Chains A and B, each alone.
Chain A
Amino acid sequence: MRLRVRFAKLGRVRWTSHRDVARMWERALRRGGLPVAYTEGFSPRPQLSFGLALPTGCESTAEYLDVSLRDDVDPGTFAGLLSPLLPEGVDVRAAAVLAPGTPSLQEVVDGCAWDVDVPDVDVDVLAAAVARALASPSLPVERERKGRRQVDDVRSALLALEAHPAAHGRGSRLVAEVSTRPRGVRPAELAAALGLELGAARRTCQWIERDGARLEPLEVPDEPLAPALGRAS
């Protein structure tokens, strides 16, 4: 059977990498004695499949993972067992059985939302930067890929941007919805597109778009997510 798991990555553990998180899961599953299916061959590995990589340093309340198991396990039992075995800050939030043939996360996730602290910028300054970015026909962002500089236009990936006052204290907060196709836009690239220094970023949801509705990757097909922000494109 395959289980899809939603988990959070919060606090100090956010400084670990995507690969580190994969290793944490492998070890936690072994510690829990769960009947994880292994790949065949010379170097058997547990069959885990992660969705979008979360950039090192970012938090998330909406990470997803598919686990293949040799025997059936109750999703509720699975979630209850695993959280205490994972490092502090990594918590299982939900788990559900996947129907046979369900496509992988990589194939189906269309977008995600970010909540980003903008510590030293007033909300009206942020709002102006957001308006400027949304009015631009293109937003070229430079990034390094395999040691080489590359310029990408991220404008079409920005579905929505909103400026909010900071939840606590000074500064402001950026809420962004981005398309993850053909590739995800990282918070660092949002910062470059806005010409601002951004603080801590937290991914708050990922979705699959179907007939105009946004569905959570976990199998809860009747419940669309919270209403989308005003469309920007």
Chain B
Amino acid sequence: MTSLWPRIEPLLARVTKPARYIGGELGARQPDHRPDGVAWLLLYPDTYEIGLPNQGLQILYEILNERPDAAAERAYAPWTDMEAEMRGAGVPLFSLETFRPAADFDVLAFNLSAELTYTNVLNLVDLAGLPVRAGERRDGQPFVLAGGHCAFNPEPLADFVDAFVLGDGEEVVGEITEVLHRAKAEGRARVEVLQRLAAVAGVYVPQLYEACFEGGRLTGVVPRAGAPDRVEKRVIGDLGAWPYPKQQLVPLVEVVHDRLNVEVFRGCTRGCRFCQAGMITRPVRERPAEQVDDMVKRGLARTGYDEVALTSLSTADFSGIESAVSSVINDPECSGQVSVSLPSLRVDAFTVGIAAEIQKVRRTGLTFAPEGGTWRMRQVINKLIREEDLYAAVDAAFAQGWRRVKLYFLIGLPTETDEDVLGIVRLARDCVEIGRRHHSSVTVTASVGGFVPKPQTPFQWFGQNPPHELQRKVNLLKDAARGVRGLTLRWHDPAATTAEGLVSRGDRRMGAVIEHVWRAGGTFQEWSEQFDLGLWSAAMEAAGLTFEDVVFRHRDAEEVLAWDHLSAGLHRDFLWQDWQDALAQHGLEDCRWTPCYDCGACTGLGVEHVVASALPPAGGSQGTGQDLSRAGAVPVRLVEARA
């Protein structure tokens, strides 16, 4: 197998940040490619700096490389300057470990974390020298696989991807490897391999399904050739059995989240209705606290990082949070030089107390996410933070010495009124006032994103706000924030929010749109300097589709949704009821500490919440006034001690 390095290196002098293309990270493997083994190229369809830290990709990289029948390498999207050099010199997409051509692998496996990277998926398949359309790829060419959160509505990419994997990848990558390994040995035709892949639980092979339409509306996605009617996501029951990554990659160049990351639990039952991650990753599975300690200690010693992030969807809810934090800050080897970060803070004073303890060094800013500007709005979205909780948290933060506080909000939420929108500025202004009681100069940043309804959530039926409406709301905020000293307002481009909405809930017809945008040069649409709504509008028109129909329109209970044949474990009835509860401004308590709502995630998948304690952690009610005395009556499995 030939290395492309001698042809790659001459290009590097002419591109920005050339070290993104040289590999050489601490923890990178030099895999042994056996001719009968299955060679995986794991891809993240954005730049190296964004893609390298992705923990899902790194976990699968290690698990695959531990198998005797598999070898895994990595690639990321070359920036536009490098792509032009590669195309000019006839250099195809290559792996960063052995610099072999992407087309020499058996599998190209994409992590899908953001919808606007989809045009990059096509571009990478094309840069590999392969047909972008799955139906045009032939025997002997790699299979294109995709997984990650966006795979829960795979239809927009159905024309291009051979198989999608739903849910946790830890186990299923092994099963896929076995299928491909056997098929390779037996010399099976591509279509036979696809059928075998479709028989693996959690694997969706879109070529084996037909998307049926009537009168411009989807009527169903129907299986052919014995593929299952419905594909259920995969779930690992015990996170403690998968202490990965064991050898987190340490890049030579600066990347986002450039620190040690240790996942403390997976899943979330807070039930925020806008949050796809919280819905599709249920149930909660905690990592044993002593395993967290061990991963942190070993990870810091091995990597030399001076920062560790305890990651999850709401880390302050981790039963072992206090022990995990104190074991780092009381470790004499870390004394004063290692900082701990909690990327998703809960809004309460308890959380601020922990944050104060761990951020004795390099204290930057604290971020809270009330998401909605009024209590009414927050009941609709089920982010049940009371004003007094936010103010107490912010007061604690300023009292502990922070000068900068950042608040995340969404606009364009269901039932939103202008009063709800203006509530954002009111809350932020009150936070500035609170800060002034402690310091003469404080900064409160209100960061406002446009809401994009996501598949497999209660808001999947909601018609997204059009860009002019989002812009009007941004203008309301700008006017209200004008002249407020200490308040900074930031907002996301409503045009990008609109394009994201297209791909988020689009059906199979969106494939033509994505291909059109890609062929018109629309790569890196996540990047504001590259994003162009004009490309998307032209593509929609060419496909005979409207934004109104795909994005802005409310769906009713009967409508077939493009992802109805795929399941994240949640019953459609539960989601619809939760949508009705939202419209009625009715909040729902966290099911970890209350009786089950039968959302379907635990019962349907035969798993349970795995927590170290049936008692909620301090501050666990998140200020909702939720009665937690019922704890213990809940069907949780207590996590087993494991080193």
Q: A residues touching B (Cβ–Cβ < 8 Å)?
A: 12-13, 15-17, 19-20, 23-24, 26-31, 33, 38, 42-44, 56-57, 85, 87-89
Contact = CB atoms under 8 A, between A and B. Distances in A.
B304 to A, nearest CB: 3
Contacts of B18: 15, 56-57
Interface residues of B, number: 26
Contacts of B305: 27, 30
9 contacts: A19-B254, A26-B306, A27-B250, A28-B304, A31-B303, A31-B304, A44-B337, A44-B361, A57-B13
Nearest to B336: A44
B253 interface: yes
B614 to A, nearest CB: 39
A15 B22 contact: yes
A42 B360 CA distance: 9
Contacts of B19: 15-17, 20, 56
B469 interface: no
Q: Which of A19, A30, A89 has the most CB of B within 10 A?
A: A30
B451 to A, nearest CB: 36
Contacts of A27: 250, 303-305
Given A28-B304, A30-B304, A38-B337, A87 B362 contact: no
Contacts of B361: 43-44
A16 B9 CA distance: 13
A89 B22 CA distance: 12
Contacts of A85: 304
B634 interface: no
Q: Which 9 A-B pairs have the closest CB atoms?
A: A27-B304, A31-B304, A30-B304, A15-B18, A16-B19, A12-B22, A15-B19, A16-B252, A43-B362
B12 A57 contact: yes
Given A43-B361, A57-B12, A13 B252 contact: yes
Contacts of B22: 12-13, 15-16
Interface string B541-571: 0000000000000000000000000000000
Contacts of A15: 12, 18-19, 21-22
Contact of B254 (A20, A57, A87): A20
Contacts of B302: 31
Nearest to A89: B24
B337 A20 contact: no
Contact of B253 (A20, A29, A38, A42): A20
A107 to B, nearest CB: 28
Contacts of A44: 336-337, 361-362
Interface of B: 9, 12-13, 18-19, 21-24, 26, 250, 252-254, 301-306, 333, 336-337, 361-363
B304 A29 contact: yes
A29 B361 CA distance: 19
Contacts of B304: 26-31, 85
A175 to B, nearest CB: 20
Contacts of A19: 254
Contacts of A17: 19, 253
A71 B445 CA distance: 43
A87 B24 contact: yes
Contact of A24 (B21, B252, B362, B363): B252
Contacts of B337: 30, 38, 44
A44 B363 CA distance: 11
Nearest to A88: B24
A143 B363 CA distance: 38
A26 B252 CA distance: 12
Contacts of B252: 13, 16, 20, 24, 87
Contacts of B333: 33
A82 B305 CA distance: 16
Contacts of B9: 12
A31 B24 contact: no
Contacts of A38: 336-337
A217 B275 CA distance: 58
Nearest to A38: B337
A15 B252 CA distance: 10
Nearest to B361: A44
Contact of A12 (B24, B26, B250, B301): B24
B12 A87 contact: no
B96 to A, nearest CB: 11
A17 B254 CA distance: 10
Nearest to B251: A20
B254 A30 contact: no
B336 A87 contact: no
Given A15-B21, A29-B304, A44-B337, 7 more contacts: A27-B250, A30-B337, A33-B333, A43-B362, A56-B19, A57-B18, A87-B26
A192 to B, nearest CB: 14
B348 to A, nearest CB: 26
A45 to B, nearest CB: 9
Contacts of B301: 31, 33
Contacts of B254: 19-20, 23
A220 B363 CA distance: 43
A15 B301 CA distance: 26
A13 B361 CA distance: 31
Nearest to B17: A17
Contacts of B336: 38, 44
B259 to A, nearest CB: 11
A33 B338 CA distance: 13
Nearest to B302: A31
Nearest to A86: B26
Nearest to A27: B304
B12 A13 contact: no
A180 B252 CA distance: 27
Contacts of A42: 362-363
Nearest to B26: A87
Contacts of A23: 254
B338 to A, nearest CB: 9
A16 B303 contact: no
Contacts of B250: 27
A138 B363 CA distance: 51
Nearest to A21: B252
A27 B301 CA distance: 10
Contacts of A29: 304
A31 B303 CA distance: 7
Q: Which of B9, B23, B363 has the most CB of A within 10 A?
A: B9
B18 to A, nearest CB: 4
A52 B363 CA distance: 31
A22 to B, nearest CB: 11
A88 B23 CA distance: 11
Contacts of B362: 42-44
B305 to A, nearest CB: 7
B251 to A, nearest CB: 9
Contacts of A31: 301-304
Q: Which of B12, B19, B23, B304 has the most CB of A within 10 A?
A: B304
Q: Which of A12, A28, A43, A85 has the most CB of B within 10 A?
A: A12
A219 to B, nearest CB: 28
A128 B21 CA distance: 37
Contacts of B24: 12-13, 87-89
A12 B250 CA distance: 16
Contacts of B303: 27, 31
A57 B15 CA distance: 11
A119 to B, nearest CB: 10
A24 B305 CA distance: 10
A97 to B, nearest CB: 24
A148 to B, nearest CB: 19
Nearest to A188: B13
A137 B226 CA distance: 83
A16 B253 contact: yes
